[in-house]
Chains A and B, each alone.
Chain A
Amino acid sequence: MSKIGIINYGSGNFKSVCNALNHLNISWAEITSNDHFSKVSHIILPGVGTYRDCMERLEKMDIIDILKNAIKSDKKYFLGICVGMQVLTKYGTEFGKHEGLGVINGKTGIINKNKKKKNTIPHIGWTEVTFKKNSKIYQGIENNSSFYFLHSYRVQTTNTEIISGTVDYGDEIIASLESKKIYGVQFHPEKSQMNGLRLLNNFSNL
């Protein structure tokens, strides 16, 4: 039985995530339909692209209900990457308002422009993440390490206890979430060199 299932909905970074796991000698299986879920204990939802596109593709694959259930029921570990984390929220406003998976209380909106700090949108590059709690996926990684970000939208939640890391980008932006078995990272661990690989390794060891 493969432990890790990576949802393949045609996201650009699907292959990058697979490559990273291969490099770490972690076995994984591709999830493309409902019956693949029972075979895995961990689910990774990669994401590059828009909120709407991600939801539309998951819908087309007809896996939204089973995915929601798997995340909500606390039976499987879940890691959402970038848009894969954003769609955990109730809705996103990228190219119109679109409903998300709604498993965490929050929404996804565009990054605020801060004239003083001259932040550009999209937020692209290596930014230091400040840890907000002792998350298991950050084990062995120094606080304020840099990770690779590539996004124009960000998650907002009033439920601050689920925030495990932030970055300063105009505002304080959520870099990562942790709520029971649900993990989400706004950055791309599969593209964050050693620290990113460490994080993926930590997730697979949960």
Chain B
Amino acid sequence: MPKLRIIPIILLKNGRVVQSKNFNRHQVLGTPSVIVGRLSNWCADEVIYLDISRDSQYDLNRDDLNFKNNNSILSIIKEVSENCFMPFTVGGGIKTIQDIEDRLAAGADKVSINSQAISDPKYISECARIFGSQCIVVSMDVKKISQSCWEVYANYGKDSTNHSPTELAVKYQEHGAGEILLNSIDKDGAGTGYDLPLVKSVVDAVSIPVIAQGGVGKWEHFQECIDFAKPSAVAAANIFQYTENSYFNANEYLYENSYDVRKPTLNTIIETAEN
């Protein structure tokens, strides 16, 4: 059976890598190319790039920004893929078949679809038919409503949908989604651990892999989530940006605590025919 995956998520906003809190506060951390160099040394299981640039950003009399951003997501994918020998998923603003084709052609391995899946679940079936389910990650942004009630929000956590995450997850699975990326809006950037009951409810509702995201402030939070909810993958964004070799350290922490993760490694040079 596959190893439990640990996935760093890189958030991009208008071509910059950012840190996020509650889906609305974003702090710029640097340019993607700086992060790329670090990534290739991490030997991560995979990486997810989410472009969270919002339409509202384009209303700041900055047509150049809008244009630049549209261009840059594809050029970022190209740049990343050249030195990234692990799977990488790209999400954000994907609405058409062409959007996916463009991203895959630029070097992405999988795409993550969010709002378009809510407004048109058949889009997922179409994508799965053309690209295969394994290529289609469907992401959900979820807000806690009460003790045992959650709701999925659309458009970067802005719009209420009246759908529960388990209901949508099952629907997405039926339409051919390959994986569910589950984000907690409340836990985003909080550093207080995952929304454990939420993760568990979705993991239990579907048979496809679920990637838990949102809330990791220390490595123990991974452990907590794995023990309680048993997701196929645990993801985190902000925490991986703080220190050098943070991914290696997270990997090592879980490995040494006997979790079934890949043996932690750092990049080594392979002797090729030429040298």
Contacts and interface: CB of A to CB of B under 8 A. Distances in A.
B5 interface: yes
B107 to A, nearest CB: 5
A113 B208 CA distance: 12
Contact of A125 (B45, B105, B133): B45
Interface centre among A23, A95, A118, A123 (most CB of B within 10 A): A23
B81 A151 contact: no
A168 interface: yes
Contact of A191 (B85, B208, B267): B85
A19 B3 contact: no
A201 B270 CA distance: 9
A204 interface: yes
Given A123-B2, A126-B45, A12 B270 contact: no
A25 B106 contact: no
A120 interface: yes
B97 to A, nearest CB: 13
Nearest to B110: A150
A13 interface: yes
B265 interface: yes
Interface in B108-152: 108-110, 129-135
Contacts of A23: 82-83, 85
Interface residues of B, number: 45
B109 A124 contact: no
Contact of A194 (B43, B45, B132): B43
A50 interface: yes
Contacts of A148: 45-46, 86-87
Contacts of A113: 207
A33 B1 CA distance: 39
Contact of B43 (A19, A193, A204): A193
B208 A120 contact: yes
A152 interface: yes
A16 interface: yes
B232 A95 contact: no
A49 B135 contact: yes
B238 to A, nearest CB: 24
Interface of B: 1-3, 5, 43, 45-46, 81-87, 104-110, 129-135, 178-179, 207-209, 232-233, 262-263, 265, 267-268, 270, 272-275
14 contacts: A10-B105, A16-B85, A23-B82, A24-B272, A48-B134, A49-B132, A113-B207, A120-B207, A125-B2, A150-B87, A169-B2, A193-B86, A197-B270, A201-B270
Given A24-B272, A122-B178, A126-B3, 12 more contacts: A10-B105, A19-B85, A25-B275, A119-B1, A125-B209, A127-B2, A127-B3, A146-B263, A150-B134, A152-B132, A192-B85, A197-B85
